[in-house]
Structure 1
């Protein structure tokens, strides 16, 4: 049966240990750790910070579903919205790309320390001066360097596709995985992103069978005609009963992580209502 986790990226007004405690109190099986400011932003996230998180995980009994290294807004003093995913794995700036690769390796080390099975990453965008075909070549090279570090440590890397990024659909991420040809590269499957792109979620789940390193859940209003805005399950148009039926059909028994960073002022309410709703539909 699918296990439910909650991402700390909803608790950005709390410390990471406080977020872990609150997520455990709500009743989740697991927690996803945000590898970014204000939680685990490297390299400032030092030995004492890591020990505090490990201690809180042991005290609460929570498993870690994933290390979410999709963003690195802590890189900037004032992160511009247009560079939300920068520095990315496909950036043309060599120094910035090297920084992002090393940052991802730090996330891999944290995953190993806390027993997380995977680290999620995004591809970033093909920004001006970096056409898609060049950006894709850069991305492939970056992923090989990351996988060289992750594989000996037993950590999988899950690409999270998203509309308007370099890799934005199920077909594109499967093509990329096939081109790279390494078993430790998979998909952190955000089903809301697939819905916004216009995909059939049962079909998406079937197509990604065997590649899923983790799942992100949120509700979306309007599908392809809607906006990419994460809502509490039950407040949008996604059919979660069909989602869980599809996951059962492929035998997926890993974590599905609620990603509700859109509720920073009331993360515990969002966490509680999401858990109640999903437990009633699966």
Structure 2
């Protein structure tokens, strides 16, 4: 396994105003920190395909070679649901966007494009919007009570995934589908939609904090289920904040191995080794970065968190004799 940095943390989405970098500078930070690879977040202000013409793409590939970095995944945030009006066509735009990302990945030498099935909500209550057993996508009605709106959304997403998977198959690119609410509420549902799409290019991106449980046996069983499907993984940790009495009221992203990290990383790494996973573990920072004094963090904060994640994850991989990268942190800092 090798360690990658997903440049999303440098895009300014979750940091203080003005604290952001362009794609090339973010890639340089990945090399300086000591990562084996850098993954391109395919959105503005970083790696949106329409902003990267052929000449700029070539220069970026040259930059990777100069920095002795591997090309990681192209990472997309997508929603394949159709719109709520007959004259809105968001799914068509998503399909066009993902196809452009696939083209860019092929041109730049990346073999993987990460996608999401839908991004309607974010870790919402299972009975969101008064759905009766399934998430609701309409106002309360007989359709909602029969889950017809949820089934309709599932089939919309499946159709969109099938189209981009078929295109990826033609281009020789793998799609890493990340389990993410609302359509894919758990990892079994991710496997179900893979079977229904039934296109070899559609694979799984399995992230430890998005497993339904941190029970060691559950983690091992889930990883083994993904043996023939897993091609990508993000290393991100989520910690719950609790009120008096222990009721969870919020969550926050923390660095793997940090004091508040509740994730069973060692169990996860051991299970990945058991299934002979040889892909990337990609560090990600994709939620609000709040620091001491209750303010949004800076680029320095992002640097520190990526470095902390690298140190911890590399230590685990070395401990279990499954690190296949060649990066030496001290050497990278001297470059």
TM-score past 0.5 threshold:
yes
- Are residues 1:205 and 2:204 paired? no
Check conservation: 1:196, 1:220, Cα contact below 8 A: no
Cα-to-partner distance string for 1:49-74 (whole Å, 9 max, x where unaligned) = 32332121121121122111125xxx
What's 2:305 paired with? Answer: 270
Aligned counterparts of 1:208 and 1:228: Cα–Cα separation in 2 = 27
Aligned counterparts of 2:224 and 2:251: Cα–Cα separation in 1 = 23
**Structure-2-length-normalised TM-score:** 0.73
Aligned counterparts of 2:156 and 2:286: Cα–Cα separation in 1 = 29
What's 1:91 paired with? Answer: 82
What's 1:28 paired with? Answer: 35
What's 1:53 paired with? Answer: 60
What's 2:75 paired with? Answer: 68
Tell me the secondary structure at the aligned position of residue 50 of structure 2. Answer: coil
Cα-to-partner distance string for 1:105-142 (whole Å, 9 max, x where unaligned) = 01101111222121111111374379211111111211
From the superposition, tell whether residues 23 and 226 of structure 1 become closer, same or farther in structure 2 (CA, over 3 Å).
farther
1:141-160 to 2 correspondences below 5 Å: 141-160=159-178
Cα-to-partner distance string for 1:150-185 (whole Å, 9 max, x where unaligned) = 1121101111112x3211211100011111111111
The Cα of 1:226 is off from its aligned counterpart by 7.9
- Are residues 1:215 and 2:206 paired? no
- Shifted more, 130-139 versus 174-183: the winner is 130-139
- Shifted more, 201-210 versus 166-175: the winner is 201-210
What's 2:144 paired with? Answer: none
Structure 1 residues without counterparts, runs of 5 or longer: 72-87
Tell me the secondary structure at the aligned position of residue 216 of structure 1. Answer: strand
Check conservation: 1:7, 1:257, Cα contact below 8 A: yes
From the superposition, tell whether residues 222 and 203 of structure 1 become closer, same or farther in structure 2 (CA, over 3 Å).
farther
The Cα of 1:98 is off from its aligned counterpart by 0.7
Tell me the secondary structure at the aligned position of residue 256 of structure 1. Answer: strand
What's 1:119 paired with? Answer: 113
Check conservation: 1:196, 1:228, Cα contact below 8 A: no
Aligned counterparts of 2:215 and 2:155: Cα–Cα separation in 1 = 27
The Cα of 1:146 is off from its aligned counterpart by 0.7
Check conservation: 2:81, 2:90, Cα contact below 8 A: no
- Shifted more, 88-97 versus 193-202: the winner is 193-202
Aligned counterparts of 1:267 and 1:222: Cα–Cα separation in 2 = 21
What's 2:138 paired with? Answer: 128
From the superposition, tell whether residues 195 and 172 of structure 1 become closer, same or farther in structure 2 (CA, over 3 Å).
closer
Pick from 140, 165, 169: which aligns with 2:158? 140
Tell me the secondary structure at the aligned position of residue 107 of structure 1. Answer: helix
- Are residues 1:233 and 2:233 paired? no
What's 1:82 paired with? Answer: none
What's 2:129 paired with? Answer: none
The Cα of 1:89 is off from its aligned counterpart by 0.8
- Are residues 1:176 and 2:193 paired? yes
Tell me the secondary structure at the aligned position of residue 43 of structure 2. Answer: coil
Aligned counterparts of 1:193 and 1:206: Cα–Cα separation in 2 = 16
CA RMSD of aligned residues (A): 2.4
Aligned counterparts of 2:138 and 2:59: Cα–Cα separation in 1 = 42
**Structure-1-length-normalised TM-score:** 0.86
The Cα of 1:46 is off from its aligned counterpart by 2.5
The count of residues paired between Structure 1 and Structure 2 equals 264
Tell me the secondary structure at the aligned position of residue 43 of structure 1. Answer: helix
What's 1:9 paired with? Answer: 8
Tell me the secondary structure at the aligned position of residue 211 of structure 2. Answer: helix
From the superposition, tell whether residues 242 and 198 of structure 1 become closer, same or farther in structure 2 (CA, over 3 Å).
closer
- Are residues 1:103 and 2:94 paired? no
| Structure number, greater radius of gyration | 2
What's 2:274 paired with? Answer: 249
